[in-house]
Amino acid sequence: MYVPKSFEPPDDQTLRQFMHAHSFGVLVTMTSQGLDGNHLPFVFDAEPSPYGTLRGHVARANPIWRECQDRPEALVILQGPDSFIMSRRSPLVMKRAAKHPGR
């Protein structure tokens, strides 16, 4: 994801606080049918250092857990608050988001 320098988080601690505060996200995986996105609750654990672990829960009835066994790469997208600002020139949407690639 392209993030302009002015929008980068100031440090890892800020990113960790964001993940604690906004723990409902989208798990994006590649399945045999193509890309799949599932909305799930996540918990951020600071261990193991230095990056920590993002844990989620998938219901047994959700077939995504079977698909992920063969393709463990995934992307989690966590979104924070957003706002909409209307200007004379064009609308501006302000969003906060974090992505976390992993296995």
pLDDT at 87: 54
Q: Which residue has the higher pLDDT, 58 or 102?
A: 58
CA distances to 23, 64, 83, 96 from 19, rounded to whole Å, are 6, 23, 19, 11
For residue 88, the tally of other CB atoms under 10 A from its CB is 4
pLDDT at residue 11 above 70?
Answer: yes
For residue 54, the tally of other CB atoms under 10 A from its CB is 19
pLDDT in tens, 13-22: 888 888 888 8
What residues does 74 pair with on adjacent strands?
Answer: 29, 102
Counted residue by residue, the chain has a size of 103
pLDDT at 67: 81
What residues does 35 pair with on adjacent strands?
Answer: 30
Sign of CA dihedral 99, 81, 25, 91: negative
pLDDT in tens, 22-74: 888 899 988 888 888 999 999 988 888 777 888 888 888 988 888 888 777 88
Instruction: Judge contact between 98 and 75, C-beta under 8 A.
Output: no
Give the start-to-end residue ranges of the domains of the chain. 5-102
CATH 3.40.47.10 fits 5-102, yes or no: no
